[in-house]
Amino acid sequence: NAGVTQTPKFQVLKTGQSMTLQCAQDMNHNSMYWYRQDPGMGLRLIYYSASEGTTDKGEVPNGYNVSRLNKREFSLRLESAAPSQTSVYFCASEFGGAEETQYFGPGTRLLVL
């Protein structure tokens, strides 16, 4: 039981390049989330998927797109990376419903030059 997994662990991009961050969970959770964490800013929600087939914007969605591929997988895409997107990205999942606990993946460190 791996919990929440993320790939890659670390990535360097040049401005304007695109990439997709992958997230998968094996806990049969319904809801999945993408956060970014920056020094002094805390965790900020980018996008979330309350259930398979649905996605919604969070606090900071600009510059990102998401796909809920199936119940297990939720990907985050940067179409044209910018230095402001340098951050640590965390995927999280929860069973869903009434204010459940969220479980986090190990994170992806992204550096945009």
Partner 1 sequence: QKEVEQNSGPLSVPEGAIASLNCTYSDRGSQSFFWYRQYSGKSPELIMFIYSNGDKEDGRFTAQLNKASQYVSLLIRDSQPSDSATYLCAVWNSNYKLTFGKGTLLTVNP
Which residues of the chain form contacts with partner 1 (CB under 8 A)?
Answer: 33, 40-43, 45, 58, 90, 99, 101-107
Nearer CB in complex with partner 1: 39/53 = 39
Contacts of 66 (CB under 8 A, 6+ apart): 34, 46, 47, 49, 55, 74, 75, 76, 77
Nearer CB in complex with partner 1: 16/41 = 41
Task: Check: CB of residue 89 under 8 Å from CB of residue 35.
Answer: yes
Q: How far is the CB of 15 from partner 1 (least distance, A)?
A: 25
Q: How far is the CB of 79 from partner 1 (least distance, A)?
A: 25
Q: How far is the CB of 90 from partner 1 (least distance, A)?
A: 6
Q: Report the alpha-carbon distance of residue 97 to residue 100 in Å, rounded.
A: 7
